[in-house]
Structure 1
Amino acid sequence: MPMPERCERFAEYRDKVLELFASKGFGQVGMRELATCLGLAPGSLYHHYPSKQHLLADLIEEFYEELLATLGRLDKKAKRGMLPSLIQAHLNLHREMPWHFRLAERDSGCLNEDQQQRVRQLREQYECRLLLMLGAKSRLSAQGQLAAGHAIANLLNSAPGWLTQHALGEAERDELLESLVSGAVERLLRPSVPRAVA
């Protein structure tokens, strides 16, 4: 079932709603508080969004749409050095959309079943596209490839948060994260080598 069209005032609401959901937690924010934050009467907000889940769904959909658009832009470039380009693109996107990453990982389960299904479809498109761009070998079963795509997406989307408590410069942090993620992904995508029998 397709999602309803995004409210035309969504861009106007986005940043305030993102910050409120991400800082307080989706479950801790009510429609009345959302309306106050946006400078609207509760009835006006209900006119645009029947529930706060609809707002959350729009934010999470926007996140996956941007991830897919980012992959599309990268895919048009040369395939050489794709993994470092993918990692850098995700680090840049994390700097541009930090609240989106947090909501998508933490609060997707708060959506209704139809909304969760739509988010799953978008995430699966993104994960499959990642595998194709990385040239994943077919040594893995179909389920193994799905699992690999999911794991790689999780690495790319969570890596920027790994080093936040360390006082590193941006370049040093990015270099360290690229090494960590690329090492894991390259190992995963490497052709299988028979294991030595003990």
Structure 2
Amino acid sequence: MLAAVVSFSKTPSARDRLLDAAIELFATHGYQAISLRDLASHLGLRAGSLYHHIENKQSLLFELIESALSDLLNSTKLLMKGAKTPSDQLWSFVQAFVAFDLSERNRLLLVTREFLNLSEEYKQQINQLKGAHASLLSAIIAAEYRETDRLDEDIFLVTHATIGMLYGHSLWNNIEVSEQRLTETLTNFALGIIARGKKN
């Protein structure tokens, strides 16, 4: 007799539902356009009940952006672990970004579009995470430039040109392409930026 297979799905907590709703509404309508009252209404709650889960709207946005960047950083480090050569590392770096963009588009949209709505204190903390992510790419580029006389300033500029290209692609709309193809294309773009930096 076949054993019955029972599926246990964890019910999201009230806080998880709040975070998911905030991601969706902030990404769809913009942080400034959504009030806590709107968020509570979307969840079928009273606005005051949200304060059991969050300090305020600003801290909520910070938490969402911090969480997105932390997840991107961790997944990038994980994918780069097995990569030995700079070219393999670059592929893994881009692949991690593409995979995150395709699976977490709304969260990445908050990073790119809503960062400016954070307080200066929160921006500094987020910039530390962005810097940690960029430093992974800088190390790859530095390895590519090892036998040249390129300055740290050159590596910095090429790193941020490449990061800008990756974040810029996340704003493309209605592009139907596989993860593999997109990774390949963006890696080639990144190689072009790095190669051009060597020549300048």
Could you state the TM-score of these two structures normalised by the residue count of structure 1?
Answer: 0.79
Q: Which moved more, 1:34-43 or 1:58-67?
A: 34-43
* Other-structure match for 1:175: 181
Residues 42-73 of structure 1: per-residue CA shift (max 9 Å, x gap): 22212332321111111100111011101210
Unaligned 5+ segments in structure 2 are 1-12
* Other-structure match for 1:15: 20
Q: 1:56 to 1:45 in 2, by over 3 A?
A: same
The offset of 1:103, in angstroms, is 0.9
* Other-structure match for 2:127: 120
Tell me the amino acid that sits aligned with residue 66 of structure 1. Answer: D
Whole-angstrom CA distance in 2 between matches of 1:40 and 1:109: 28
Unaligned 5+ segments in structure 1 are 1-7
Whole-angstrom CA distance in 2 between matches of 1:51 and 1:136: 45
Question: Which one of 94, 101, 106 corresponds to residue 94 of structure 1?
Answer: 101
Whole-angstrom CA distance in 1 between matches of 2:182 and 2:102: 16
Task: Report percent identity of matched pairs.
Answer: 27
The offset of 1:136, in angstroms, is 4.7
Question: Which one of 123, 140, 144 corresponds to residue 154 of structure 2?
Answer: 144
The offset of 1:91, in angstroms, is 1.6
The offset of 1:137, in angstroms, is 2.3
Secondary structure at the aligned position of 1:165 is classed as coil
* Other-structure match for 2:111: 104
* Length, aligned pairs only: 182
* Other-structure match for 1:36: 41
- Superposed structure 1 runs of 4+ greater than 6 Å apart: none
Structure number with larger C-alpha Rg = 2
Secondary structure at the aligned position of 1:26 is classed as coil
* Other-structure match for 1:165: 174
Whole-angstrom CA distance in 1 between matches of 2:166 and 2:102: 13
